[in-house]
Amino acid sequence: DTGVSQNPRHKITKRGQNVTFRCDPISEHNRLYWYRQTLGQGPEFLTYFQNEAQLEKSRLLSDRFSAERPKGSFSTLEIQRTEQGDSAMYLCASSPQSGGRETQYFGPGTRLLVL
């Protein structure tokens, strides 16, 4: 069990550029979550997948944000036309279908800085 992994760990981009982050959940965890954490705050929920289906999206997930999990394994989060307000830590978490589904395990996060 290697844990949840996220790539890249850091991303610096210019305003207006598109960025994409990847999350690899714990193997056999069919639930995957994305959160955003701004400085000095707790994580805020963005979206949730069960297998490849995106079942819940937060109002924080504007039209510029899109998340996919095409084969029910890894997931990508894309931000189009980045804005300075998008600067944050993006966290991914996973949990199993049963036998502990209530517990989410987090990756190390991707820190985004938009200049």
Alpha helices (H) in 8-111, listed in sequence order:
none
Question: Which of 58/80 has CB closer to another protein?
Answer: 58
13-21, 43-51, 63-71, 72-80 -> range binding another protein (CB under 8 A):
43-51
Exposure string for 66-97, b = 16+ CB within 10 A, e = fewer: ebebeeebbbebebeebeeebbbbbbbbbbbe
Exposure string for 18-55, b = 16+ CB within 10 A, e = fewer: ebebebbbbeebbbbbbbbeeeeeebeebbbbbeeebe
Query: Is residue 38 at the binding interface for another protein, with CB under 8 A as the rule?
Result: no
How many residues lie near another protein (CB under 8 A)? 27
Query: Is residue 90 at the binding interface for another protein, with CB under 8 A as the rule?
Result: no
Using the rule CB under 8 A, which residue among 44, 53, 81, 113 binds another protein? 44
Token pair of 50, please? Answer: 């069960």
Query: Is residue 48 at the binding interface for another protein, with CB under 8 A as the rule?
Result: yes
Query: Is residue 22 at the binding interface for another protein, with CB under 8 A as the rule?
Result: no
Using the rule CB under 8 A, which residue among 7, 20, 26, 31 binds another protein? 31
Alpha helices (H) in 55-112, listed in sequence order:
none
Contacting residues toward another protein, per CB under 8 A: 4, 6, 31, 33, 35, 40-45, 48, 55-56, 58, 91, 93, 101-109, 111
